[in-house]
């Protein structure tokens, strides 16, 4: 009897995890995007920002990523900012 309830608990747990991750994922992604901006600023400070911009464009093209994704979708699902936002942010910080 105990094994059956353990299996039922595992199934129930597996079914409820997506509800919690739906709330937690955008928060986690926001922190990840913040860290990406900080990493970009560090790289721009210690190297040539124009080279970083061209590298980002090449990276996104080579990975077949869209350069301008939907903002709402990106806010929920992307752990990295879009290339256009990163490039604009780099240009603002280097001026």
pLDDT digits (tens, 9 = 90+) for 18-75: 888 888 988 999 999 999 999 999 999 999 888 999 988 888 888 877 777 888 888 8
CA-based nearest residue to 57, from 90, 12, 35, 22: 90
pLDDT at 3 exceeding the cut of 70:
no
Domain residue ranges of the chain, discontinuous segments joined by +: 24-94
Q: Look at residue 41 in the predicted model and tell me its pLDDT.
A: 92
pLDDT at 7 exceeding the cut of 80:
yes
pTM beyond 0.75, yes or no: no
pLDDT at 80 exceeding the cut of 80:
yes
Residue 85 tokens read as: 């936002």
């Amino acid at each position: 009897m105990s094994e059956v309830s353990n299996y039922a608990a595992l199934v129930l747990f597996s079914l409820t995890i997506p509800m919690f991750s739906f709330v937690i994922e955008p928060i986690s992604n926001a922190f990840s995007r913040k860290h990406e901006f900080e990493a970009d600023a560090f790289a721009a400070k210690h190297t040539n920002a124009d080279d970083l911009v061209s590298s980002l464009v090449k990276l996104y093209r080579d990975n077949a990523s869209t350069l301008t994704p939907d903002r709402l979708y990106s806010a929920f699902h992307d752990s990295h900012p879009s290339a256009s936002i990163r490039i604009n942010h780099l240009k603002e910080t280097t001026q």
